[in-house]
Structure 1
Amino acid sequence: MAHATDNEQFQRWLAQINQECGSFAAQTLNGEFTGELETGYTHALKLSTVTTANVNLYRTEREIKDHNDAWFYTVFQLEGRAVMEQNDKQTCLEAGDITLVDASRPCSFYWQQRSRQISLLLPRPLLEQQLRMGDAHCVPRLDKSLPMVQLSHRLLQESMNNRELSETESAAALEALVCLLRPVLQQQEVTPSRRERQFEKVVALIDEHIQSESLRPEWIAGQTGMSVRSLYRMFADNGLVVAQYIKNRRLDLCARALRCAADDEKLAGIGYHWGFTDHSHFSTAFRQRFGISPGEYRKRHR
């Protein structure tokens, strides 16, 4: 847990996030917390630059009810790495990548190392009038190697550096960003690659057998007709480690169960239900991911 002075800094940072970006909850992770927030408003361009480390920032249905959800958070990763989760999908952002996060649905952001990113509020009507935004577009990773992604970064930086944009010009810049991202998003919707379809199949298989003790890389490879080495490479291409993904998926499901668990329900039973046969290992892994013990987590979310 953070020291008292660190906790005060954390609370100030979270209050600033809630004031500028909407209603969020958060918890510190293992390691020293750092958090800074810079905001900028140029008429239609409403954005925040978040610099932080060792924290989990998230929105549940409770936070969504307290805030206007008529937005997409368009996240431009500038430095470091960030993990985003929404609709049971996860993506890992590296510097130069972009993602879209639907403000009307629960989401979670993990920063386990120093990360810096810009979050731009994109009005839902502006995006949906040009795109059919469904579940497929929740937390897509738009790779930094794509020309339209690179142009979007440049347009955003140029717009941020020009504080004299008129209201009409800032609105035009926002529409231009959507136009730049549109072909990338449409391509993802229409023609997912064979590799992407295979990855989705593997992730679905993991979810289907998440409670099984036999859920190991060797078993997954055998079930999907690939080598273990190819399985590892597939997850690495998505910024993930297969064993770590399975463990984190189980921990997230345990956390969901703990939020609804009765006081007399045994913590070890919850961990065992989701594939943790050793309570000590479950408790240690849970604390590493969420910064607190399973029992403390249940009390906090009661």
Structure 2
Amino acid sequence: MACASEKEKYQQWLAQINQVCGRFAARPLPGEFIGELETSYARSLKLSTVTTAGVNLFRSREEIKLGNDAWFYTVFQLEGSAIVEQNDRQSVLEAGDITLIDASRPCSIYWPERSRQISLLLPRQIVEQQCRFQAIRCAHPLSRQLPTVQLSFRLLKESMENGDLSDRESEAALEAMVCLLRPAFQEQETAPRKERQFRNVLALIDEHLQSPALRPEWIAAESGMSVRSLYRMFADKGLVVAQYIKNRRLDLCAQALRATGDEEKLAGIGYSWGFADHSHFSTAFKQRFGVSPGEYRRRYR
């Protein structure tokens, strides 16, 4: 990469990656550098097609601090091969394979030779809702021979070709993609007692989300543990009990907003999921989804 114009091309490509995919750093590899990036947005589907060679793209703790970690990258390998590393796991992706990368953890991708792949941004909240906080295998290659992988490629292709998708339809496509791939991405191991207990607590919360009595003290008593143990259980997952309950309620409010018309009052939807104060509901909703409940419903109408 001695040529000035080639260095400039390299820097421009990296700047594009940082703008579209989040903060990354890079280092050149031996051989010719190729760097091309195409972006595509179909409502909730945010895609980037990377064609590259002779470079190592990576995210360290520094890049994660400076960027957005609210995503998982679903990588669809189209041509050539790529080496992906995360969580002390290294995998080789061949054409037709899929893998998942967690934006909140350091990762590294090597393209020694010409490679082409699509990176689809999956919102963390969708993955967490589908997987219920179970361990997820990142940088694990899902073979093109798997029927779920073939279906996912087909769903991605058809979604990209359909420019008339609504917000609701594109989000449904994302959820379908996660649902298809979830069994292959989840760690295949018997859950220890603490993990089973945590899942039971999540099920209890879901069962009583509409109840105003749903508080940490009540949950702890119903689960046969101390409040301190409950807090520690959630802290071990990087969660706060009250915040989890609020976010879960907001997610179900969003689901209701997508399914109802203008005749359903916004305050009534918030109240039905435990938000007694409409102003508090509206503020919390905007913090989570970036728009007010009314605007959110208009977008999905």
Give the counterpart letter for 1:170 in structure 2: S
C-alpha distance 121-2 of structure 1, shift in aligned 2 (>3 A): farther
Give the counterpart letter for 2:40 in structure 1: G
Q: Distance in 1 between matches of 2:130 and 2:121?
A: 17
**Cα displacement string for residues 236-273 of structure 1 (whole angstroms, at most 9, x for unaligned residues):** xxxxxxxxxxxxxxxxxxxxxxxxxxxxxxxxxxxxxx
Paired residues of 1:91 and 1:141 also in contact (CA < 8 A): yes
Paired residues of 2:23 and 2:63 also in contact (CA < 8 A): yes
Tell me the CA shift for residue 184 of structure 1.
2.1
**Cα displacement string for residues 148-174 of structure 1 (whole angstroms, at most 9, x for unaligned residues):** 000000100110011111111111111
Question: Hey, what does 2:63 align to over in structure 1?
Answer: 63
Q: Distance in 2 between matches of 1:50 and 1:67?
A: 19
Question: Hey, what does 2:41 align to over in structure 1?
Answer: 41
Tell me the CA shift for residue 136 of structure 1.
5.2
Greater relative contact order (CA < 8 Å, ≥ 6 in sequence):
1
Tell me the CA shift for residue 35 of structure 1.
0.6
Q: Distance in 2 between matches of 1:35 and 1:2?
A: 16
**Cα displacement string for residues 82-125 of structure 1 (whole angstroms, at most 9, x for unaligned residues):** 00011221010000000000000010000001000000000111
Tell me the CA shift for residue 28 of structure 1.
1.1
Give structure 1 stretches of 5+ with no counterpart: 192-302
Q: Secondary structure at the match of 1:125?
A: helix
Question: Hey, what does 2:165 align to over in structure 1?
Answer: 165
Question: Hey, what does 1:178 align to over in structure 2?
Answer: 178
Paired residues of 1:48 and 1:118 also in contact (CA < 8 A): yes
Tell me the CA shift for residue 190 of structure 1.
3.9
Paired residues of 1:87 and 1:135 also in contact (CA < 8 A): no
Question: Hey, what does 2:52 align to over in structure 1?
Answer: 52
Give the counterpart letter for 1:189 in structure 2: Q
Give the counterpart letter for 2:158 in structure 1: E
Q: Distance in 2 between matches of 1:108 and 1:62?
A: 14
Tell me the CA shift for residue 133 of structure 1.
5.3
Q: What is the aligned-residue identity percentage?
A: 66
Structure number with greater Rg is 2
Q: Distance in 1 between matches of 2:52 and 2:133?
A: 29
Tell me the CA shift for residue 21 of structure 1.
0.4
Runs ≥4 in structure 1, deviation > 3 angstroms? 132-136
Tell me the CA shift for residue 185 of structure 1.
2.4
Question: Hey, what does 1:32 align to over in structure 2?
Answer: 32
Tell me the CA shift for residue 69 of structure 1.
0.2
Give the counterpart letter for 2:162 in structure 1: N
Question: Hey, what does 1:111 align to over in structure 2?
Answer: 111
Tell me the matched-pair count. 190
Question: Hey, what does 1:140 align to over in structure 2?
Answer: 140
Paired residues of 1:2 and 1:32 also in contact (CA < 8 A): no
Question: Hey, what does 1:189 align to over in structure 2?
Answer: 188
Q: Equivalent residues in 2 for 1:271-282 (5 A)? A: none
Q: Secondary structure at the match of 1:144?
A: coil
Normalising by structure 2, report the TM-score.
Answer: 0.61
Paired residues of 2:136 and 2:185 also in contact (CA < 8 A): no
Give structure 2 stretches of 5+ with no counterpart: 191-301
